[in-house]
């Protein structure tokens, strides 16, 4: 099976629950929105929120949280049981030039005050810890017709692990 078929295959049922892989489901949602042809940056926000929460049932991802002293990121990720902030996410439209945004005024304000930050165009993620870029990873590429071509399976697994790492970075780095 080719990578292009990945988003269109039925996921296997694990343990009888039949739950699809969170990243596969996330990419399906993005692809559906892209195919309609009218998607914007905000169209994909619910899918990203659901992805982060599906990867760890102990976190909650708030879209459009209250403004902080350094700005208003698109999301804040917190523990469900307490108000401890795990990290922040800033999303740009699919295909946005993340290199340009990485060096822009917005991130210059965010990085000193947000010790765990993901910058994303929903397909590529740039992870910053304590103001320094830790990792860059990608889930898929856009191909003609609004379809998504996922990266290779080993890269998807790496991305899943890095997204989980984002959720635990501050606890690990500060212990």
> Mind listing the pLDDT tens digit of every residue in the chain (175 residues)?
344 444 544 444 444 456 789 999 999 999 999 988 888 888 999 999 999 999 999 999 989 887 778 888 999 999 888 878 999 999 999 999 999 999 999 999 999 999 999 999 999 999 999 999 999 999 999 998 879 999 999 999 999 999 988 887 655 444 4
CB 167 within 8 A of CB 77: yes
Three-state DSSP at 92 gives coil
Report domain extents, the chain: 3-173
Helix (H, G, I), strand (E, B) or coil at 159: helix
Architecture category of domain 3-173 in CATH: Alpha-Beta Complex (3.90)
Name 54's Cβ contacts closer than 8 Å, sequence gap at least 6: 22, 25, 26
Whole-angstrom CA distances from 25 to 17, 72, 77 are 15, 28, 20
Radius of gyration of the chain (CA): 16
């Amino acid at each position: 099976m080719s990578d292009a078929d990945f988003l269109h295959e039925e996921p296997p049922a694990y343990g009888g629950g039949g739950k699809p892989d969170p990243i596969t489901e996330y990419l399906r949602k993005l692809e559906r929105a892209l195919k309609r042809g009218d998607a914007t940056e905000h169209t994909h926000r619910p899918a990203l929120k659901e992805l982060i929460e599906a990867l760890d049932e102990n976190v909650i991802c708030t879209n459009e949280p209250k403004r902080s002293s350094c700005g208003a990121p698109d999301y804040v990720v917190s523990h469900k049981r307490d108000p401890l902030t795990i990290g922040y996410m800033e999303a740009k439209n699919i295909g946005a030039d993340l290199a340009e945004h990485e060096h822009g005024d917005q991130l210059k304000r965010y990085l000193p005050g947000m010790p765990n930050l993901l910058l994303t165009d929903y397909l590529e993620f740039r992870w910053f810890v304590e103001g320094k870029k830790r990792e860059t990873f990608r889930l898929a590429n856009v191909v003609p017709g609004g379809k998504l071509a996922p990266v290779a399976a080993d890269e998807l697994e790496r991305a899943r692990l890095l997204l989980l790492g984002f959720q635990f970075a501050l606890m690990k780095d500060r212990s």
